A and B are shown apart, each in its own frame.
Chain A
Amino acid sequence: MVLSGVIRRDLRWLLLALNALPATAAGLLLPTALASAVDMALAGRLDAGTVWWLVGLAGVEVLGDAIGVVLAAAITARGAAWLRHRLTAHLLALGHPARFEAGDAVSRLTGDSAIAGGVAVLAVNLGISVVTAAGAITALALLDWRLAVVFLLSVPLAALLVRSHLRLTAADVATYQEVSGELSARLVDAVGGLRTIAASGRADQEAERVLRPLPRLTAAGVGMWRTQARMIWRAGLLLPLVELAVLTAAGFGVVAGRLSVGDVLATLGYVALGMTVVGQTALLTALQRARASGRRLQEVLETPLPRSEPPASTTTGEIVLTGVTVPDALHDVDLTVAAGTFVAVVGRSGSGKSALASVIGGLTRPSSGDVRRGGSVGYAFERPALVGTTVADAVRYGTEPHRTDVEAACRAAQVHDVVVRLPQGYDTPMAAAPMSGGEAQRLGLARAFVRDPAILVLDDATASLDMVTESTVERAVESALPGRTRVVVTHRAATARRADVVVWLDDGRVRAVGPHSDLWHDDDYRAVFG
């Protein structure tokens, strides 16, 4: 369980509890100290000891609270950070294709982790409330056992109240979180189509479409407030009734001479302290939320990791596929690529080209069949996601090459000239370097080149480049990374023509393998290129 993990891992909540002890004790002693001070004042005496005792207790409480604030923040921050670490590591290990949408994953990382990370502090605070209540009842009993008896009659009522609250909010809280997520996902979709929306002048209509689930969110939100109102109202009824009962008992104590006037004040203080445990609605709601968040984190962490053994090895630069099947993409593909060959993979849309690249690149495990690959892979995509803080970081991502190697890779990818014109060159933050599709593609190529791989897999990775730039990149690769095996998914006849051999895929099967010039005689083959 995620939440118990948070509590077990960082035991500093013990320190928080330890710090809370004197502060809570001082808080419990304060009403009696105040009572004797008031009795002293009413008697017309000024007793330094009594006043100092009161001041000292207050000092301990105030200081303890201050230390508690810092400790609680530190514990929550550490707990959240630990959860974020686990969550990020697991999401990354789950790899591609992502099981959780990016926006959803981020909200689990930022929102749920923070809430669940605070569970230890929440538990301690709840514990302090309980100890305070128990201490207050003991103090009442010490003043006059009748006071404690009267007070305790209210405890079952309080328990009832707390239980009904827990039952009522869970559904609304869950609905609220779910609809929030749905709204975000809709907005992300619309943002992806901003150009279409702008050009068709449909911003308002599309905003309405995104906002369609809003009434459900509102309903859940209103439900949450209503539950709180019921809770508060019941607590609001309970407290004055208990106060009335206990104060009446105390009044008779005064008449009978068992209690002083100051003791009445102390009684009032202890009733208030004893009732704090009931007044902790916020803590209970927070605990409820922490449990919901814990479940959302659990959902990620319990998603089993895919088998992650890399493809078996073979001669450097060689690729051997035997009977490889990927559901809905590849059927029983046998393919051997000799080291140093330039292979073009062609076929109509949806014929399994990307799946083949993905299997060779190690992104997809075939459901059956065997993949052998000699050496490391440099993998580039049609639409690369450039991850990293700066441009240089995005290119070297996951490796530690020298800066000159990064520059050389960018030169080969024909993107060096673009980078050096950016405000801070290679150190420009990615956020400040908006890229066109073609520029991003070339940085993606540079990222594949800089690894100095034995095999290059380019999945339509030059589709946004015009053909002049594309062929320049190709020649640059030949001189910068000579003799590497290249698997190039392409739609272009010119690229296929330059390849040593073409793998022609049709409906997930290898239709033919051979040089472009041989295949070109086939009408079906020519139709692939339009």
Chain B
Amino acid sequence: MTYLRALRDQRRGIVVLLGWSVLEGVPALLSGRLVGLAVDRGFAAGRPWVGVGWLLVFAAVAVLGGFGLRQVFRRLGAVVEPLRDALVRQVVRGVLHAGSQTRQPDASAVARITRHVEVVRDATAGVLVQARALLVTTAAALIGLAATVSSLAWLVTLPVVAALVLFGLLLPSLARGQRRLVMADEQAASVAGTVFLGVRDVTAVDGAEHALRDVMTQVDRQASATVRLAFATALRGIVIALGGFVPLVLLLLMAPGMVRAGTLTVGEVLGAVVYLSTSVQPALRRLADTTSTIVLRLVVALRRLAEAAPPIDPPTGDAVPEGFEVELDHVTFGWSPTAEPVVRSLDLVLPEGSHLAVVGPSGIGKSTLAGLITGLVEPQAGHVRFGHVPIRSVAPELRHQRIALVPQETYLFTGTIRENLALLAPTASDTALLAAAAAVGATDLITRLGGLSATLGHSAAGLSAGEAQLLSAARVYASTADVVILDEATSALDPAAEALVEQAFATRNGTLIVIAHRLSSALRADQVLVMDGGPPLLGNHQDLLTTSPLYRDLMAAWHEPHNGTATQPPRQPALTAPTSDPEQHR
């Protein structure tokens, strides 16, 4: 587990920190004894300067303890901050390695993860400061106490132990309450995140009241979870306070007889009371007030973090492909063994330099095909080969370098346009980047933004979806990839801009696969793959017009305006119902 591993990496710092805390425990160990001595040998005996002497020792010991605590806090940063760094690192890597297969975390999930990391940071510091101090102080005080009034040691320990046992019994219900609260927090953040991300839609549908109601339902749930947890906390406080106070009362009840009998001196009684009231009681109180809460928060946050960032499973493989022919051999893939396969028995060979268009209704699994070819998705049956070797056994860095996927959703980050364009070709010169931009028609855009050195803000602020897609296309154009897959990568461009991008890639050396958003893409391709949920059909445009009814329908619907609109009755498009309802094959 990352937390423990990160903690282990900081073990040097922790050992140093614990070493200093021994110093911090010295006052707790000696305070009662020294005050007792000052009174016994000094003030009560009429020798005030002896008393003052013992008090000076007491002060010196306390200064030593304070120095120890200072060192503990100074070192806390050196332990806790690297630990937090390690967790942030782990979470970011975990989220980014999860890829596109799992449900993607949204803005609120990111905020939530950040909060868990902060909780772990604070709670770890808290445990290091408080739980450690608690142990050191209690142990030191109990040792000091036992040395002072050994005959009464059992009186003191028994109630403390009883309280701790009772406290332990309360812990499970406390942990449940804590988790309930955390879940309520997360639910509230998630609902609010959806609303804030969708504020355009909320405004457009006049749903502000509805949104406010939804958020407040979660907020109220959160508030009631807070109060419920507080009741459990209060009960815990009572139990622990009793555990600290009962020994004191017992001591005071037993002492008169023992003082009368001469088995206890004035200084010993005084010392014992000092130990109990200034060391043991405050330590127990801290346990009730904060330490246990901190531990509970730490445990819950760590559990949630582990759920948010699953361990990374790095891809392996060392095969080197020969050339870049893509071959699919009887490939079948479905999202689960029982689900209707998205791709069924697909045979496809794309020699080097091919240009393929994939068409079909929305939601039919065209993107899955992209996942199969790039090796991101493993087929249930059949083989995907790249350069005559199974794609998933190709060395990952080669695979990523030679096959580029441009998805519909763009990835632009805070940084210069140069950094963004050179993402896949870090060594590309400015000339090469600008040439790539010119090829896909992004020159005007880049000029308007202020050239390669201009910076982009978060969430590609200020760019339209189409402009973001243009930059993504230029980025891939500038890469060294032999196979380029455009997965509806031009959906937000107008048809003219789209045609320019596709032609640029078609004339660039290499294989081009266009998962078509518009049918015009099919006309530009050498081969067309029609996916409609049934057996996939492959052919060129002319063949498919005769072999695929779906293709014919799609083309007829699209082609109409090109064939002279005047002759067609305007409200009766030549659309027959498609032979296969796309919904049946989901």
Contacts and interface: CB of A to CB of B under 8 A. Distances in A.
Contact of B96 (A190, A228, A418): A190
B582 A102 contact: no
A221 to B, nearest CB: 4
B74 A226 contact: yes
A38 B270 contact: yes
Interface string B481-523: 0000001000111111111000000000000000001111000
B204 A88 contact: no
B95 A191 contact: yes
A88 B212 contact: yes
Given A62-B241, A251-B42, A385-B201, A110 B188 contact: yes
A381 B198 CA distance: 11
Interface in B367-413: 374, 376, 396-397, 399-400, 403-413
A407 to B, nearest CB: 16
A403 interface: no
A106 B108 contact: yes
B259 A41 contact: yes
A75 B458 CA distance: 37
B48 interface: yes
Given A203-B93, A387-B195, A464-B362, A46 B203 contact: no
A98 interface: yes
A106 B35 contact: no
A255 B106 CA distance: 72
Contacts of A154: none
A528 interface: yes
Interface in B191-219: 191-212, 214-216, 219
Contacts of A77: 222-224, 226-227
A193 to B, nearest CB: 2
B44 A69 contact: no
Nearest to A230: B70
B81 A221 contact: yes
B111 A184 contact: yes
B127 to A, nearest CB: 15
A180 B119 CA distance: 13
Given A103-B110, A203-B96, A248 B561 contact: no
Given A41-B256, A66-B234, A418-B583, A195 B226 contact: no
Contact of A254 (B43, B74, B206, B400): B43
Interface in A329-357: 347-350
A268 B274 contact: yes
Contacts of B67: 233, 236
Contacts of B74: 225-226, 229
A73 interface: yes
A97 B413 CA distance: 20
B77 interface: yes
Contacts of A237: 63, 66
Interface string A439-483: 100001001100100000000000111111101000000000000
Contacts of A196: 405-407, 410-411, 472
B413 A186 contact: yes
Contacts of A167: none
A194 B560 CA distance: 38
Which range contains the number of A residues in contact with the other chain? 35 or more
A387 B207 contact: yes
Given A97-B200, A189-B412, A496 B114 contact: no
Nearest to B567: A517
Interface string B243-281: 001001100110111011000001001100110011000
Contacts of A100: 196
B586 interface: yes
Contacts of B260: 44
Contacts of B347: none
B252 A54 contact: yes
Contacts of A197: 96, 99, 411
A184 B414 CA distance: 12
Interface stretch (B51-59, B350-358, B535-543): B51-59
B499 to A, nearest CB: 5
A493 B562 CA distance: 9
B193 A103 contact: yes
B38 interface: yes
A510 interface: no
A43 B256 contact: yes
A270 interface: no
Contact of A200 (B85, B423, B466, B518): B423
A214 B87 CA distance: 11
Contacts of B278: 268-269, 272
A497 B565 contact: yes
Nearest to B400: A201
Nearest to B573: A471
B464 A69 contact: no
A194 B253 contact: no
A192 B459 contact: yes
A101 B197 CA distance: 8
Nearest to A218: B81
A198 interface: yes
A193 B408 CA distance: 10
B207 A70 contact: no
A221 B84 contact: yes
B362 A254 contact: no
B230 interface: yes
Interface in B337-364: 360-363
A397 B207 contact: yes
Given A236-B69, A251-B52, 15 more contacts: A69-B233, A85-B219, A92-B203, A92-B212, A109-B189, A185-B459, A195-B407, A248-B55, A251-B39, A251-B43, A254-B43, A269-B278, A385-B201, A414-B583, A434-B103
25 contacts: A44-B257, A45-B256, A51-B253, A73-B227, A77-B224, A77-B227, A81-B220, A95-B208, A103-B110, A110-B192, A190-B92, A194-B98, A194-B99, A195-B409, A225-B76, A236-B69, A251-B38, A255-B48, A349-B494, A385-B197, A397-B207, A417-B583, A444-B201, A469-B361, A530-B495
Shortest 5 CB-CB contacts between residues of A and residues of B: A193-B411, A236-B66, A530-B495, A385-B198, A398-B207
